[in-house]
Structures are given as C-alpha cells and as structure tokens.
C-alpha cells in the first residue's frame, strides 16, 4: 500500500524502527553501543567534527542492521521459512555488510577515542 501523506511515511518509518527495537537483539545491541559512544564522546570532550563522525559511523551500522533485518524477513517470506541454500547465502551476505560496517566503525572509533583516553591516562601520572 502506498503512503498517502508524508506523515504516513514517517509513521511507517517509526513503526519499522520500533519493530526492530522490540524484536531484534542485534539492533538493541547496536543502539546500546551507540549510546555509550555518544556518552564517551561528550565525556572526552570531542569537538563537533568528531561527534559528527561518531554519529555517522553509528547510524550507518544501525541502518544496515535494519536493512539486514528487512532482507532476512523478505527471504523468510519467499522461502516460507524453509531451509534453502540460496536463502542462507543471501542472509549471510546481508549480515556480512553489517559486520563490515561494524568493524570499520570500531577502527574509526579507535582513531578517535584512544588518543583521548591516553591523554587522560597520562594525566594520572
């Protein structure tokens, strides 16, 4: 069914977010990591650019997790929840995209957070 208004589009998007929040453990995990990342970004005194980078890499991972969930649900619908070798490949590839984005976000976060933590550690000497 087509969205009739912009408000309908927003409601549907929020419904998708809430579905993932209520039903997908990996999605919840990514949101928790995102919240912790933002907390430490402010705690460590990140500048606006650094916070923007954290927001960008975090939302990419979260958005890909939602796309992964969509693909998994679609595959399950098409194969009627039966085991099929191609269904597994499709799901694995989709999960792999999330994995790659999560690993790259960890690497980028390392470049941002580690120097700040080292400064704090040096101040205790």
- Provide the CA 22 distance to its chain's centre, in angstroms: 15
Instruction: Output the pLDDT for position 81.
Output: 82
Contacts with 8 (C-beta within 8 Å, 6 or more apart), sequence order: none
Q: What is the full DSSP assignment across 66-94?
A: HHHHHHHHHHHHHTTT---HHHHHHHHHH
> Has 91 been labeled as part of a binding site?
yes
Structure tokens that stand for 54 in this block: 């954290």
Q: Is 61 exposed, middle or buried (0-12, 13-18, 19+ CB in 10 A)?
A: buried
**Which of the residues are catalytic?**
65
CB 72 within 8 A of CB 55: no
The contacts found for 70-78 with CB under 8 angstroms, 24 or more apart, are: none
**4 C-beta neighbours (distance < 10 Å), count:** 8
pTM over 0.75? The answer is yes
Domains plus CATH for the chain? Answer: 6-123 (1.10.287.3610)
Residue 73 sits at φ, ψ, to 5 deg, of -65, -40
> Has 50 been labeled as part of a binding site?
no
Mean pLDDT by runs of 10 across the 125 residues of the chain is: 86 96 97 96 96 97 98 95 93 98 98 95 86
Instruction: Output the pLDDT for position 91.
Output: 96
> Has 8 been labeled as part of a binding site?
no
Instruction: Output the pLDDT for position 124.
Output: 86
Q: Tokens 């995209």 belong to which residue?
A: 97
């Amino acid at each position: 069914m087509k969205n009739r208004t912009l408000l309908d589009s927003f409601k549907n998007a929020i419904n998708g977010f809430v579905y993932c929040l209520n039903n997908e453990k990996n999605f919840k995990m990514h949101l928790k990591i995102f919240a912790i990342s933002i907390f430490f970004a402010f705690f460590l005194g990140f500048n606006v650019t650094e916070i923007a980078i954290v927001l960008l890499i975090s939302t990419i991972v979260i958005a890909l997790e939602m796309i992964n969930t969509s693909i998994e649900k679609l595959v399950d619908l098409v194969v009627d929840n039966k085991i099929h070798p191609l269904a597994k490949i499709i799901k694995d590839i989709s999960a792999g995209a999330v994995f790659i984005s999560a690993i790259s976000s960890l690497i980028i976060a390392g470049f941002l957070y580690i120097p700040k933590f080292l400064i704090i550690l040096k101040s205790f000497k």
